[in-house]
């Protein structure tokens, strides 16, 4: 195990099983439709890559990049668009894909932004939810796991840009983020 990791919270097999179930549910719900999956860079990319491959409906892909955390482990509350979608989502069945919903500020900002373009439908799929941290109410239509308030990294999730490549979702050792803040 990586020396900066305290323990594995969700192992790779457990994640894959859950992703497969989510993919099956989403595919059933969108039967006969075409989906536009919108990945929120950068955290969602690993989850999105796995989710896409278990979907059985036609899928288009786009990305939006936002950041609120910067190099800090807690949100600043200000969401910035770093890269907008390549094309408008008007008239599309949009599935917004996130790695984690924490305060909800990112998701709230993004759903407001996308609704302005009048999609045919807009649903949210998030692998992780930390409900105890919520500051604004948001709806997650497809959720992987609800987790306690611990600082997790891996499977796309970072701390200060690192650890996204870890295959499991892991609790970061407290010393690692406390030393920097
Ligand atoms: C993280 C995470 C979500 C968001 C959740 O992204 O990937 O997008 O924060 O936090 P919130 O619910 O409190 O808004 P981050 O800003 O760290 O960017 P990244 O995806 O590039 O790591
Ligand atoms: Mn993110
Ligand atoms: Mg991040």
CB-proximal residues (5 Å) to ion ligand 3: 69, 158
The class (CATH top level) of 12-147 is alpha beta
Please tell me the residue having the least CA distance from ligand 1 atom 7.
Answer: 43
In three-state secondary structure terms, 8 is strand
Complex confidence, ipTM? 0.98
Ligand at shortest distance from the CA of 103 = 1
In order, the DSSP letters of 121-137 are EEEEEEEEE-GGG-SS-
What is the Cα–Cα distance from 65 to 27, expressed in whole angstroms? 25
What atom in ligand 1 is closest to the CA of residue 69?
Answer: 16
Which of 146, 14, 26 is CA-nearest to residue 95?
26
Token pair 């600082």 in the structure block, residue: 151
pLDDT-derived band at 76, boundaries 50, 70, 90:
low
pLDDT at residue 67, rounded to an integer:
80
Range 95-99 average pLDDT: 98
Catalytic annotation, residues: 102
Report domain extents, the chain.
12-147
Does the beta carbon of 110 sit less than 6 angstroms from any atom of ligand 1?
no
More confident residue, 68 or 135: 135
Q: Is the CB of 9 under 6 A from ligand 1?
A: no
The neighbour count for residue 167, using CB atoms within 10 Å, is: 13
Q: Is 138 a pocket residue for ligand 1 (Cβ < 6 Å)?
A: no
Higher pLDDT, 69 or 80: 80
């Amino acid at each position: 195990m990586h020396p900066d990791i305290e323990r594995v919270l969700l192992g790779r097999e457990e994640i894959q099983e859950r992703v497969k179930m989510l993919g099956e549910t989403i595919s059933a719900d969108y039967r006969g439709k075409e989906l536009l999956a919108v990945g929120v860079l950068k955290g969602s990319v690993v989850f999105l890559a796995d989710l896409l491959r278990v979907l059985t409906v036609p899928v288009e892909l786009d990305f939006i990049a936002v950041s609120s955390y910067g190099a800090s482990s807690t949100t600043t509350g200000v969401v910035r668009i770093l890269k907008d979608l390549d094309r408008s989502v008007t008239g599309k069945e949009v599935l917004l894909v996130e790695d984690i919903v924490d305060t909800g500020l990112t998701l709230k900002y993004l759903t407001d932004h996308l609704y302005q373009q009048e999609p045919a439908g807009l649903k949210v799929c998030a692998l992780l939810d930390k409900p105890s941290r919520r500051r604004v109410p948001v709806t997650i239509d497809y959720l992987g796991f609800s987790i306690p308030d611990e600082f997790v990294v891996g499977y796309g999730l970072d701390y200060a840009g690192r650890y996204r490549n870890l295959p499991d979702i892991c609790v970061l050792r407290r010393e690692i983020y406390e030393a920097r803040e």
